[in-house]
Each structure stands twice: as structure tokens, then as C-alpha cells.
Amino acid sequence: MATLYQLHSTMDNLRRSTDQLALTWRHGDSLMLLGSTAAFIDWLTAYLKENEITGIANIYALSADLSQLDEATTTKLKLNNKVDAVLSDTEWVKLTQDSTFDNVVTIAL
């Protein structure tokens, strides 16, 4: 079984959030980037490497959250190449109830 980590973090707290994530991370777990967290995906990737977090099954983002980012930011970040799926709110709720995940953990510092 795997855990779906829902990460909601500002840039100021991203390193600390990633440190918390590392405490219980298991190979095959997935990440859901909430709020503006997707805008910091390059920093998140660096912090994941620092914490030796590997074996990420999937990285998801919410379409509603991505629509809040300006087009220039979205284009520059190339988010579609860095997340496995962009989900609607309905798809997100379905994902949290998926039997693939035995835990859904939200980290919001």
C-alpha cells in the first residue's frame, strides 16, 4: 500500500514541509501539490533530492490551483512535463478514496 501526501506549502515553508515528508516517506508514495505549491516545483524537486526521497509513484496538481498561476509562470515552469496528472476537484476526491492508498496525509506548515 502507499500514501498520498497532499503538500500545501508556501516557498518560505517548503524546505520544512519536505523535511516532514521525509520522516515517513516510502518508495511508491505519491504527491498532490495543493495551492501555490506547484509554482515551486523546481525547488521541491531539489529538496526531495536533499532528503533522499525517491520512488515517487505520481505527482499530481489541481487544475483549479494551476489556473491561479499566470500564464507566463505556467509556461516557464513547464508544469505539464513535471506532474503526472492535472486533476479536477472531483478527480482529486476520487483519488483520495482510491484503494491504492492506505493513507492520505496532508502537510501544510
| Domains of the chain, residue spans | 2-107
User: Binning pLDDT at 50, 70 and 90, where does residue 28 land?
Assistant: very high
Residue 1's pLDDT is 87
Report residue 20 CA to chain centroid gap: 13
pTM of the predicted structure, to 2 decimals: 0.93
CATH 2.60.40.420 describes domain 2-107: no
Q: Between the CA of residue 54 and those of 17, 29, 57, what are the distances in Å?
A: 16, 9, 9
* CA 67/CA 62 separation, integer angstroms: 9
Other CB atoms closer than 10 Å to residue 35's CB: what's the count?
17
Checking if the pLDDT of 74 tops 90, the result is no
pLDDT at 51: 95
pLDDT at 40: 95
Give pLDDT tens digits for 5-26.
999 999 999 999 999 999 999 9
* Residue linked to cell 483549479: 64
